[in-house]
A = this chain, B = another copy of it.
Amino acid sequence: MSNIVYIATSLDGYIADKDGGVDWLHSIPNPEGNDFGFAEFLAGIDALVMGRNTYEAILAFDLDLERQWPYPKPVYVVSTSAVGVPSALEGKVFPLQPGSPGALVSQLAEQGHQRLYIDGGKTIQGFMEEGLVDEMIITQIPIVLGGGMPLFGELAEPQAFELVSSEVLLGAMVKNHYRRRR
């Protein structure tokens, strides 16, 4: 089983700015709409796990959910409160009662989901705290935000990784793939 983070950060490690905004993620012109391998990445995972805040932030983009929902795999939304699932997302989005990251992983493994895409600040930090992040694919946007929501939180102990690959995107962003060194 493996749990993978795929995310973009500022140079100072934020995933959202002081106002919760993510417009700066698109500060590098991408006229050809390159997805930088995201579709291929999604093809290689079994399911997504994200928190309710992340889920609602995606819904707030006001996508045409029939045509533009970005995830071809089941999305599990971890939430203590009720999660609204629009009819267009039935069979695609599933509420999940919060539990320890380890318990969530076991529960999803029982349903055949071995490779999980872990998304959202709090969810990622929870998995990191338990040492349950196996891979990280982090794209660095060349901006220093000076505040916001950090990708990483406090850890009891350092965690070492190895570099799998590093790629420059559009001559501006650096996408690094790391695997936990065990």
Docked Cα-Cα span, A116 to B88, in Å, equals: 57
**Top 10 closest pairs, chain A to chain B, by CB:** A146-B155, A12-B152, A142-B161, A13-B13, A144-B159, A145-B158, A143-B160, A166-B168, A166-B174, A163-B172
A143-B163 in contact (CB<8A): no
- Oligomeric state, in copies: 2
| Complex interface: chain B residues within 8 A of A157 (CB) | 146
Given known contacts A13-B12, A176-B174, A144 and B158 CB-to-CB distance under 8 angstroms: yes
A173-B163 in contact (CB<8A): yes
A171 within 8 A of B: yes
| Complex interface: chain B residues within 8 A of A76 (CB) | none
A147 within 8 A of B: yes
CB nearest neighbor in B for A9: B13
A158-B143 in contact (CB<8A): yes
B176-A140 in contact (CB<8A): yes
A172-B176 in contact (CB<8A): no
Instruction: Give me 12 other A-B pairs in contact (C-beta within 8 A), A27-B160, A163-B171 excluded.
Output: A11-B138, A12-B13, A12-B151, A12-B152, A24-B158, A142-B181, A145-B158, A146-B154, A146-B157, A162-B172, A166-B166, A174-B176
| Complex interface: chain B residues within 8 A of A146 (CB) | 152-159
A158-B128 in contact (CB<8A): no
How far in angstroms is the closest Cβ of chain B from A168?
5
Docked Cα-Cα span, A171 to B181, in Å, equals: 14
CB nearest neighbor in B for A143: B160
B144-A155 in contact (CB<8A): yes
CB pairs A–B below 8 angstroms (30 shown): A11-B136, A11-B152, A12-B13, A12-B150, A12-B152, A13-B13, A13-B152, A17-B158, A27-B160, A128-B144, A142-B161, A142-B162, A142-B163, A142-B178, A143-B160, A143-B161, A144-B152, A144-B159, A145-B155, A145-B158, A146-B158, A146-B159, A147-B154, A163-B168, A163-B171, A163-B174, A166-B166, A166-B168, A166-B174, A174-B176
